[in-house]
Amino acid sequence: MVLFGFGLLVCTSGKMVPVYTTDDLTGRFAPETNADFVPVASAYTVNATHMRKEAYEALVKMFKSAQRDGINLIIVSGTRNHARQTEIWSEKWNNLTHDPAERARTILEYSSMPGTSRHHWGTDVDLNSVEPEYFETSQGQKVYAWLVKNAASYGFFQPYIVHGDARETGYKEEKWHWSYYPIADQLLRAYKRMVGYELINGFPGSEYAPQLNVIEHFVQGIPDGPAVYNTRETR
């Protein structure tokens, strides 16, 4: 086997198999200089962001389909590397004053520790709003209903569904967070094999990651991916 290009392995059979580094998995890279990422057009995002090329192409198809159905989708948060996630985490950490372990637990209701976020992967986006109240409005309910019905046709799924039999641990429900399963599943499998707690560092409260089972309960705290999530249909 030989390396061929960024992030790919050529097997002797000629089949291209993805290869990821721990930096890919924990967000220690710059998306704008990573050959696997492309910029998202301003028509599809509030702020400048990048995505993995295949995930972005699928997202554009999904957005155009939604628009034809009278649903307007927009990215409010896309790929975030370790440095950006550290900024978000640290700001929340500094705004809390109680017991450090409880601070981390409170932030983890909706935000990931740096090095553990699916937003590092270039496959995940937050759509329209990150406020739960938005999805209780008439507009938000229509957006969510459309995504539940149609997103899987483009390879996207909601990793953080409501807690229950299908998902017992991890973040609270996030109706805004959608993930491109065909690549995200590969990245998650690689994460399970390659990333340990020694790589979760560089931010306040990182020492509580093992105690809070961040990898087992949060990174892995998603529903099992049924075959429908892997649909690659185009319209």
pLDDT in tens, 163-213: 998 899 999 999 999 999 999 999 999 999 999 999 999 999 999 999 999
Q: 14: pLDDT confidence band, cut at 50, 70 and 90?
A: low
Angle of CA points 71, 64, 40, to nearest 5°? 110
Q: Once rounded to an integer, what is the mean pLDDT over residues 149-171?
A: 94
| List of residues 6+ apart from 54 with CB closer than 8 A | 180, 182, 183
Q: Is the dihedral of CA 47, 80, 32, 229 positive or negative?
A: negative
Q: Residue 162's closest CA among 127, 135, 190?
A: 135
Q: How far apart are CA 108 and CA 102, in angstroms?
A: 10
Domains and CATH numbers, the chain: 2-230 (3.30.1380.10)
Question: Which tokens in the block code for residue 157?
Answer: 């799924």
CA dihedral 230, 171, 77, 205 (to 10 degrees): -130
**Assigned token pair, 90:** 């640290």
Higher-confidence residue of 52 and 235: namely 52
Q: What is the pTM of this model?
A: 0.90
Are 187 and 124 in contact by the 8 Å Cβ rule? The answer is no
What is the radius of gyration, based on Cα positions, of the chain? 18
User: Judging by DSSP bridges, how do beta strands 156-157 and 37-39 pair with one another?
Assistant: unpaired
Q: Name the DSSP letter for residue 208.
A: G
Q: What is the mean pLDDT of residues 8-32?
A: 80
CA pair distance 24, 34, nearest whole angstrom: 10
Q: Which helix (H) or strand (E) holds 191?
A: helix 181-194
Which helix (H) or strand (E) covers residue 9, if one does? strand 8-10
For 18, phi then psi, to 5°, come to -65, 145
Sorting pLDDT into bands at 50, 70 and 90, what band is 114? very high
Q: Which is higher by pLDDT, 12 or 164? A: 164
pLDDT in tens, 53-104: 999 999 999 999 999 999 999 999 999 999 999 999 999 999 999 899 999 9
